[in-house]
Structure 1
């Protein structure tokens, strides 16, 4: 059995009572929960576990990720079927779950999308927005998620949460962070009606099938109940990030020819029944603050050798520009 960081195949085989030899490969690592493809030679699954090394207590909760996908099975939002959840750290060193392996492409880069041509890229981005509207249209209580998060006070808690995340990655002086935090705290708008929030909605967290349709929405580790406009704002924040030098270290798919513009994303969202993005400058500022905190956390862990995966050196250069974009959004809104 081959060795991969964060995965003990011998212990996993014992837990599964596997009759065949297991093999595995790392699909994604370093930025969020680690994702592996597991196979016994006949069948294949996907395993998700938290990153190696210390992580924030409220982040990378695989049990929550498992629960929300189980709840969304059979809805208009495509998700992989989930098979098993293990909360016993002694098996592979952390909680994990197994889910169906879904055929589809997580388009992360403009270089991946460009060969499809502008028409197909546009179609993919339209359906990306439509799937987000479908998610936000689901009544959390109707799928057993009424207690999945506290909607009241969601936006102020988000500001506090990402302030704490930034503070948990010390070592660099980031003056724009304090100004943005202060502006966010003093400009919290009224929340839209509660809905299911994905928390990290972007094209490479959606597996796209050969007909350019979303086959599965994945990476639900930040999902909760709250203001769904935060998902729309984050989708647009990723578009802004895609144009920054070094943006390809996270994702630059939105810069591919044919991809909807930021205004087209907002217009499509509204026209398909999404919420009206009032005070969107706040939401965009919060989204950029959140991305800056995530990027800074990755940078911090990378410097300490606590991440798995390539493409991490240099990612810290994105923190400052993201904070500045957030400041500009809030000031324009005011």
Structure 2
């Protein structure tokens, strides 16, 4: 259903902006909130001729410093246009106050299916689910193979050890976004700091790579990777750990953030790691550390999503977003994974 008065959009200003871009927009524009994203807000924009584009803006309300930077996301997507990484085509960026109260990014609409809900994935044949699952670590390998110099992304972020940077940043984010005290997160941060592996490689890191952030084609191939908000430079295995953190299995004792991967056909977490190692040739010996760090970070991200939804209901995702019970489950998985890795 089309949203006639979409939250956070000055539709008159945006219509004038898009008209000036000479991209063939005809007649009135309609806007619809899409995706199950819990951070930046994403809208489908369509015109009277049936053409479609995608618009992104930061969440509504008070935001944490340096978070939800869509202008930075626009830079990354633009740099990846002619690489092996499948991404939408970037069209324009504006922060003109006559158009918007926050930066806006306009990009192409990519046809395909996002497996962001079990009801959607249930309609996909098991063999195609398998293909999508195998494509996930293979696509990560393409991201990690990006030439940072050639794309101009070599200065995107610090080159200092990634684990230390992540622990420092997300510990600070926790202090600013928490809705309650969870002492075990501080214990985890200390253990992760103590056992951080030596960084021997620097690559582009997506930072939030999971099923909700990829668009799949008819045969299960990944036709676009989206939501580059957390992209940075760091250890490529950190992305593998993040994929595992989001990848729930039916046998898990505690609930995960997403349950799509529990359906039959999707590969196991071990198979994801094996596929990544085989397709890239990388040693994955430290992946359990990165899995634990990703779960710790995910619990902090989820707490921030909960805080934003509590502050402004318009930021709430389609599925309602995380609850304290779900976040506690993620924390429990982080502890168990850290213990299994011998770091707690």
**TM-score for the superposition, normalised by structure 1:** 0.93
| Partner residue in 2 for 1:10 | 12
| Partner residue in 2 for 1:214 | 222
Provide the C-alpha distance between the structure 2 equivalents of 1:193 and 1:69, rounded to a whole number of angstroms: 22
CA displacement, residues 45-96 of structure 1 (integer Å, 9 cap, x when unaligned)? 1000001111222211111111111111121111110000113355221101
CA displacement, residues 180-223 of structure 1 (integer Å, 9 cap, x when unaligned)? 11111211111241111111101121100112111111111111
CA contact (8 A) 1:195 1:225 kept: yes
| Partner residue in 2 for 1:263 | 270
CA displacement, residues 121-171 of structure 1 (integer Å, 9 cap, x when unaligned)? 111111122111111112211211111111212210100111111111233
Instruction: Report how far residue 274 of structure 1 moved.
Output: 4.9
Match 2:27 to one of 10, 15, 20: 20
313 and 190 in structure 1: CA distance in 2 versus 1, 3 angstrom threshold? closer
Instruction: Report how far residue 244 of structure 1 moved.
Output: 6.7
CA contact (8 A) 1:47 1:96 kept: yes
Q: Are 1:281 and 2:288 an aligned pair?
A: yes
| Partner residue in 1 for 2:160 | 152
89 and 285 in structure 1: CA distance in 2 versus 1, 3 angstrom threshold? farther
51 and 115 in structure 1: CA distance in 2 versus 1, 3 angstrom threshold? same
Q: Secondary structure in 2 aligned to 1:299?
A: helix
CA contact (8 A) 2:306 2:323 kept: yes
Q: 1:52-201 residue pairs with structure 2 within 5 A?
A: 52-201=60-209
45 and 300 in structure 1: CA distance in 2 versus 1, 3 angstrom threshold? same
Mean Cα displacement is larger for which, 323-332 or 96-105? 323-332
CA contact (8 A) 2:249 2:261 kept: no
Where does structure 2 lack aligned partners over 5 or more consecutive residues? 21-25
CA displacement, residues 290-309 of structure 1 (integer Å, 9 cap, x when unaligned)? 11011111111222225243
298 and 97 in structure 1: CA distance in 2 versus 1, 3 angstrom threshold? same
Q: Are 1:232 and 2:240 an aligned pair?
A: yes
Provide the C-alpha distance between the structure 2 equivalents of 1:25 and 1:12, rounded to a whole number of angstroms: 14
CA contact (8 A) 2:13 2:99 kept: yes
Q: Are 1:204 and 2:212 an aligned pair?
A: yes
Q: Secondary structure in 1 aligned to 2:172?
A: helix
CA contact (8 A) 1:23 1:40 kept: yes
| Partner residue in 2 for 1:34 | 41
Deviation >6 Å, runs of 4+: none
| Partner residue in 1 for 2:298 | 291
Instruction: Report how far residue 313 of structure 1 moved.
Output: 5.8
Instruction: Report how far residue 312 of structure 1 moved.
Output: 2.4
CA contact (8 A) 2:292 2:338 kept: yes
Provide the C-alpha distance between the structure 2 equivalents of 1:165 and 1:309, rounded to a whole number of angstroms: 20
Instruction: Report how far residue 315 of structure 1 moved.
Output: 2.4
CA contact (8 A) 2:36 2:212 kept: no
167 and 274 in structure 1: CA distance in 2 versus 1, 3 angstrom threshold? farther
CA contact (8 A) 1:52 1:308 kept: no
CA root-mean-square deviation: 2.0
Q: Are 1:254 and 2:261 an aligned pair?
A: yes
145 and 322 in structure 1: CA distance in 2 versus 1, 3 angstrom threshold? same
109 and 244 in structure 1: CA distance in 2 versus 1, 3 angstrom threshold? farther
CA contact (8 A) 1:29 1:51 kept: no
Mean Cα displacement is larger for which, 107-116 or 40-49? 107-116
Q: Secondary structure in 2 aligned to 1:115?
A: coil
Provide the C-alpha distance between the structure 1 equivalents of 2:210 and 2:321, rounded to a whole number of angstroms: 22
Instruction: Report how far residue 13 of structure 1 moved.
Output: 1.3
**TM-score for the superposition, normalised by structure 2:** 0.90
CA contact (8 A) 1:246 1:317 kept: no
